């Protein structure tokens, strides 16, 4: 019997048990590299990076970061446009038990510096091509002892402070540290409106569950290719598009921003199957004389975000992408998106909805007293699901407020119909209170967008002595179109109840937007604060 006991293996260590059972975002690339090592994971300009190469870079960078003396859940910030280095850093942090914070480039330099201080960032990896923006951030007060590295042009990669030099310091030995499922892996800062941005901490479990949910929704398969033009510092691209590709062996084609002709070429040459664009971007494709009559048969899923589109534009997009489902997806940073997505069978019958709940999300409507409302009644959208945030960094009161009554509170006003489709009304803060009536700004926006000469429209409430808030339309006219204020008001009077018709229409060339394309309505309200005072 003693001989038998001596032959038994030593009991597994806590690390060994963790490696077997954990949910870790850093393991996603390793698993896919095991199965599809030679498949291309990332296309970044002329670079094509396979899963085996990506996995190796992730391991080396993870080791290199830990060699700097970083401790579990320390923050590594990345200030860069869409590039392979950003994603290598993201997965390296995940594998090393660190937190990656992609910097929102739409913020002002002093706001970015505030975020770095708020996060107590230990490392900043910045893209040299950002030039004066990066220099301005570095000129601000930053966390003491911050390590700084540059994503540099090819002729500068041997510099000791280059990203490549940092990676080269890392070992190729397996990187194995304890990572718990609910440990934070990413820190994304919301754009901020009336206060400083909020840092949203999201866990390995939340990111992984969202990735699997989105892989189901998009029907991702090995080789499935997405054009990634919206910024990776936003959850829509990082979590909704890139992560499900990495889980299933797909391919991400990275670009800097949106260029209609360049992107149309990439759709053809790379055989792109999926993309996410804002309605205004689809409009640019449809209006470009060199693109509007082309057809892109490889596209299977043309997703749009931010707002519903008129049927005329949807039909034009369907014609351009004849084999694609054209669907709206919605979500928010705090509840790793997508929380809801239009089903293909609803893309015509319920095109004005946000779709139905995603696979791992439960969606309900709640009144102000915490009571869940029956189907058809309007209230605040609330969510339950494993992809919810851990909380707001350094803001415990705001975190508790978001989780009250045992649901996550979105701040969105909506109702849910008998099919589970979500009919979004407005953000609570964007509902216009005019003459004792509540008006959803999006309803008026949709009406304006139905006019053939309107390229884009936003509706806000401007201060008014009589009405409290006066419904005010802000419009961008299509190139070459000639439409005046009275024509648009007449258009609205024929389609809206009288109290919903704008009091004024203001014409502009473009809207103030965040880096993720959201219209900054608070900026517009400030600009229009004296419109009715004269």
The answer to whether residues 399 and 413 belong to one domain is yes
User: Residue 351 above 80 pLDDT?
Assistant: yes
The answer to whether residues 262 and 406 belong to one domain is yes
Structural domain contains residue 209: no
The answer to whether residues 175 and 229 belong to one domain is no
The answer to whether residues 224 and 335 belong to one domain is yes
Q: What's the CATH number where 171 sits?
A: 3.40.50.980
Q: What's the CATH number where 249 sits?
A: 3.40.50.12780
What is the DSSP-derived secondary structure letter of residue 436? T
The answer to whether residues 232 and 360 belong to one domain is yes
The answer to whether residues 510 and 364 belong to one domain is no
Question: For residue 188, how many other CB atoms are within 10 A of its CB?
Answer: 25
The answer to whether residues 340 and 460 belong to one domain is no
Confidence of residue 216 (pLDDT cuts 50, 70, 90): very high
- pLDDT score recorded for residue 193: 46
The answer to whether residues 376 and 436 belong to one domain is no
Confidence of residue 117 (pLDDT cuts 50, 70, 90): very high
Range of the domain at 498: 431-527
- What percent of the chain is modeled with pLDDT above 70? 96
Structural domain contains residue 532: no
- pLDDT score recorded for residue 403: 97
Q: Which structure tokens are listed for 345?
A: 């069978």
Q: What is the pLDDT of residues 402-430, one digit of tens each?
A: 999 999 999 888 999 999 999 988 777 77
Name the nearest CA neighbour of 331 among 305, 351, 352: 305
The answer to whether residues 99 and 248 belong to one domain is no
The answer to whether residues 379 and 490 belong to one domain is no
- pLDDT score recorded for residue 5: 55
Confidence of residue 194 (pLDDT cuts 50, 70, 90): very low
Question: For residue 294, how many other CB atoms are within 10 A of its CB?
Answer: 12
- Tell me which of 179-188, 258-267, 280-289, 438-447 is least confident: 438-447
| Number of domains into which the chain is organized | 3
- pLDDT score recorded for residue 1: 47
**How many CA within 13 A on the CB side of residue 513?**
13
The answer to whether residues 154 and 273 belong to one domain is no
User: Residue 151 above 70 pLDDT?
Assistant: yes
Name the nearest CA neighbour of 83 among 151, 138, 28: 151
User: Residue 206 above 90 pLDDT?
Assistant: yes
- pLDDT score recorded for residue 67: 97
Q: What's the CATH number where 482 sits?
A: 3.30.300.30
User: DSSP states of 206-273 as a string?
Assistant: HHHHHHHHHHHHHT--TT-EEEE-S-TTSHHHIIIIIHHHHHHT-EEEE-SS--HHHHHHHHHHTT--
Structural domain contains residue 289: yes
Name the nearest CA neighbour of 357 among 382, 339, 372: 339
User: DSSP states of 92-105 as a string?
Assistant: HHHHHT-EEEE--T
- Its sign, for the CA torsion 144, 145, 146, 151, is positive
* Mean pLDDT along residues 470-478: 93
The answer to whether residues 405 and 435 belong to one domain is no
* Residue where a domain stops, chosen among 371, 396, 427: 427
* Residue where a domain stops, chosen among 427, 453, 475: 427
User: Residue 2 above 60 pLDDT?
Assistant: no
* Residue where a domain stops, chosen among 179, 207, 232: 179
Structural domain contains residue 196: no
Structural domain contains residue 202: no
What is the reported pTM? Answer: 0.84
Structural domain contains residue 192: no
Task: State whether residue 390 is helix, strand or coil.
Answer: coil
């Amino acid at each position: 019997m003693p001989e038998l006991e001596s032959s038994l293996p030593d009991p597994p260590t806590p690390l060994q048990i963790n490696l077997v059972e954990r949910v870790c975002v850093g393991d996603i690339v390793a698993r896919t590299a095991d199965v599809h090592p030679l498949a291309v994971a990332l296309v970044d300009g002329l670079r094509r990076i396979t899963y085996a190469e990506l996995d190796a870079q992730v391991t080396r960078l993870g080791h290199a970061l830990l060699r700097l003396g970083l401790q579990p859940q320390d923050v590594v910030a990345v200030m860069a446009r869409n590039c392979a280095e950003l994603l290598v850093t993201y997965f390296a942090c995940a594998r090393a038990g660190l937190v990656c914070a992609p910097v929102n480039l739409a913020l002002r330099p002093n706001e970015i510096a505030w975020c770095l201080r708020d996060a107590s960032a230990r490392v900043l990896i910045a893209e040299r091509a950002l030039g004066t923006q990066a220099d301005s951030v570095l000129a601000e007060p930053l966390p003491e002892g911050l390590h700084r590295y540059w994503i540099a042009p090819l002729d500068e990669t041997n510099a000791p402070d280059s990203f490549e030099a940092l990676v080269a310091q890392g070992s190729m030995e397996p990187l194995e540290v304890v990572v718990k499922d609910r440990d934070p892996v990413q820190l994304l800062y919301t754009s901020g409106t009336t206060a400083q941005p909020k840092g949203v901490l999201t866990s390995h479990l939340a990111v992984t569950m969202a990735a699997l949910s989105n892989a189901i929704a998009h029907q991702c398969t090995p080789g499935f290719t997405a054009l990634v033009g919206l910024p990776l510092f936003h959850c829509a691209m990082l979590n909704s598009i890139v992560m499900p590709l990495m889980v299933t062996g797909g391919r991400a084609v990275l670009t800097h921003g949106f260029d209609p002709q360049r992107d149309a070429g990439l759709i053809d040459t790379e055989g792109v199957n999926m993309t996410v664009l804002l309605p205004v971007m689809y409009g640019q494709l449809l209006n470009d004389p060199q693109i509007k009559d082309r057809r892109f048969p490889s596209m299977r899923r043309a997703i749009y975000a931010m707002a519903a589109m008129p049927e005329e534009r949807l039909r034009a997009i369907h014609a351009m992408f004849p084999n694609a489902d054209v669907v709206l997806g919605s979500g928010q940073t705090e509840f790793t998106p997508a929380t809801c997505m239009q089903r293909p069978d609803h893309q015509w019958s319920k095109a004005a909805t946000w779709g139905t709940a995603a696979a791992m999300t439960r969606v309900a409507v709640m009144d102000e007293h915490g009571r869940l409302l029956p189907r058809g009644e309007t209230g605040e959208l609330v969510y339950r699901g494993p992809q919810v945030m851990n909380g707001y960094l350094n803001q415990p009161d705001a975190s508790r407020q978001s989780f009250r009554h045992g649901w996550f509170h979105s701040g969105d006003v909506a109702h849910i119909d008998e099919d589970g489709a979500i009919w979004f009304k407005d953000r609570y803060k964007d509902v216009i209170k005019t003459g004792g009536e509540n008006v959803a700004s999006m309803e008026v926006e949709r009406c304006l967008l139905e006019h053939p000469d309107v390229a884009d429209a936003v509706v806000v409430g401007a201060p008014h002595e009589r009405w409290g808030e006066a419904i005010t339309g802000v419009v961008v006219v299509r190139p070459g179109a000639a439409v005046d204020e009275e024509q648009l008001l007449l258009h609205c009077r024929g389609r809206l109840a009288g109290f919903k018709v704008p009091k004024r229409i203001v014409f502009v060339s473009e809207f103030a937007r965040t880096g993720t394309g959201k219209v900054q309505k608070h900026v517009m309200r400030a600009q229009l604060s004296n419109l009715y005072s004269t």
